[in-house]
Chain A
Amino acid sequence: MADSLSPECTPLKSKYDTCFNAWFEGYLEPAVTVSSSERSAYSKEKADEFEAKCGKVWGQYRACVQKAVMEKGLGDLLQQAREENPLREPPVVQSSRRTS
């Protein structure tokens, strides 16, 4: 796994990546025929599963990186880039799990 931008966050990042990747592998392969109503149940289930397994390390890693981003003066650059990006806020749908 690639290093974090801040060496002190790299151990947390490795732990988070390992946890996320295992979860992600399952997330990519939902049961074959899922109706749209079952989809939201599926995402809720996957979100809960993520929270239970990786939530804690994700919180620690995110806090570490956010601090490093601010210290390196990248905050404004990042904010500006994200505001320009159409993927940031998907239209219509409400995010079920705000993590940022």
Chain B
Amino acid sequence: MKFFSQSFLYDDPWPIVSLAFFLRYPNPYAAHVISCDVISRNQTSSGSLLTTRLILKRGAMPRWFPKGIVSRAESWVIEESEVDPHGMVVRCRTKNLDHVKVMQVEEAVEFRQTPEGKTLQHTEARIVSGFGWGLTKRIENHGLTRFKANLQRSREGVSLILSLLRQSRLQPI
């Protein structure tokens, strides 16, 4: 198992960063996202919004991976999120639903308003392979490398949406 955690500070306040996070698909940094659907969404009486999304992502297997095991390099991902506008927190968990024996990636991300009015993103990931055949470690290492690179791209995607939101808010109505 590989564990990874990282924090990142956005200069923008929490409401706009959270909006950008939910609007992040599609963007040029996420061309691997084939579809994204809301499966359920409801509000709790304490004022939080709970959302479940089902996302289909395209992946690529590394060249050294044995042929014929994974027939299609696509993966269904479930995303469960909670938005608390009063506490100014977004919590979001994602994990892949298929190919879990080859590799399961569980990600937990949180966005919180800081006292300075900025937004702190904290990401944690757990990467587990149950593949065996002497490849488990290699698969997990590969998964971790890819996760780090994707996290960077995902942040660039959110930043792009953020700049578009900022621009549109500057436009006079």
Contacts and interface: CB of A to CB of B under 8 A. Distances in A.
Contact of A40 (B40, B47, B52): B47
A58 B42 CA distance: 11
Interface in A1-55: 1-5, 9, 13, 16, 20-21, 24-25, 27-30, 34, 39-40, 42-43, 46-47, 50
Interface residues of B, number: 42
Given A27-B49, A39-B86, A43-B46, 6 more contacts: A28-B18, A50-B43, A58-B41, A65-B54, A87-B50, A87-B93
B40 A100 contact: yes
Nearest to A46: B43
Contacts of A16: 38
B111 to A, nearest CB: 11
Q: Secondary structure at chain B's binding surface: helix, strand, loop or mixed?
A: strand
Nearest to B30: A2
Interface of A: 1-5, 9, 13, 16, 20-21, 24-25, 27-30, 34, 39-40, 42-43, 46-47, 50, 58, 61-62, 65-66, 69, 74, 77-78, 81-82, 85, 87-88, 90, 93-100
Nearest to A21: B23
Considering the complex of A and B, which 8 residue pairs feature the smallest CB-CB distances, nearest first? A100-B40, A2-B36, A28-B15, A2-B25, A43-B47, A5-B35, A87-B80, A96-B45
Nearest to A9: B37
Contacts of B76: 74, 77
Contact of A93 (B25, B39, B45): B45
Nearest to B26: A2
Nearest to B92: A87
B82 interface: yes
Contacts of B83: 27-28
Nearest to B91: A87
B19 interface: yes
A34 B81 CA distance: 23
A39 B47 contact: yes
Given A5-B54, A29-B85, A81-B95, A99 B42 contact: yes
27 contacts: A2-B25, A4-B36, A5-B37, A24-B19, A25-B15, A28-B14, A28-B85, A43-B44, A50-B43, A58-B41, A62-B38, A62-B40, A74-B54, A78-B78, A85-B80, A85-B93, A87-B91, A87-B93, A90-B46, A90-B48, A96-B42, A96-B45, A97-B43, A99-B41, A100-B40, A100-B41, A100-B42
